Amino acid sequence: MSERPNLSVILCAPRGFCAGVDRAIQIVELALQRYGAPVYVRHEIVHNRFVVESLEARGAVFVEELDEIEEDDRPVIFSAHGIPKQVKTDAEARNFFYLDATCPLVSKVHREAEIHHRRGRDIVLIGHKGHPEVVGTMGQLPEGAVTLIETVGDVMRLEPRDPGNLAWISQTTLSVDDTRAIVEALRERFPDIVSPHKDDICYATTNRQEAVKAAASDCDAMIIVGAPNSSNSQRLREVAVSSGCTRSVLIQRARDIDVAAFAGIRTLGISAGASAPETLVEEILEAFAARFSLSIETRRIADETISFPLPRPLREPANPPAAEKALATS
């Protein structure tokens, strides 16, 4: 048997689950434990098929809209990406007991938008059209109150009603560098534009991108573990390419990798999007260990200690259904 070639692996850290994702998954798991199956979830709780399928196997039912739910007496959970206000209004009209798994950092952006609107400002949202987080943020306010921009070119074409009374907010999972360029263009065109009190791009997105940057130039190839509809995972792949590792791919599972195609590389970098569980990273390492002799280095740029509290009904002893409903919507 021929000797396996050596392969150095750089594991970027932090990687994988962030506090908002961890909280959202816990909400579904605890709801299943407390209320039994089925528990309905509007949209994928997080953008990862492995996670979604694991929860489906335990009794979670994923829908895109509330009108797909025929039972009115089962818990409904809103995904980590956030929802338009109308969705909560519709849930209350149907007398649903619901749990909101919106990431608290997304909720922060929602509150910022509401404050700017109350103060009479036009709002510019930096984000990706159609992404659930963007749909949810724009849905906090009346139609037309928020203008979506995706590129510097969009900034150049922007014609606000009152250029002196603008504010900007952003999707939490964007490329830090791309967003910086858009913000600089906004400030150049509109010097009085109001910025967020604290950066809207979340700590986990920033940390994962910085970790990839720190490793990319030392790698012959990089694998980002994540789903194609995961914004933060897609941005990690883009950051890897722009930071010097042009051979960077987004992979969902080890079974999707042609390990033989990596023959000849000496150093492989691996990271994972904020909605990808560590078990998928381990699965990919096992796939490479079958063909290569691995030496593994973890390259850490930050420690993450943030956690978010669960919704009140899941923090307290079980109550009768009516009381649970009152707690959830309070």
| Neighbouring C-beta atoms of residue 23, cutoff 10 Å | 20
Q: What positions carry a catalytic annotation? A: 133
The span from the CA of 105 to the CA of 143, in Å, is: 23
Beta carbons within 10 angstroms of residue 118's beta carbon: 9
Contact 294, 285 (CB under 8 A): yes
Are 240 and 260 within 8 A, CB to CB?
A: no
Report residue 135 CA to chain centroid gap.
14
Measured torsion, CA atoms of residues 287, 288, 290, 291, in degrees rounded to the nearest 10: 140
Q: Give yes or no for a cis peptide into 38 (omega within 30° of 0).
A: yes
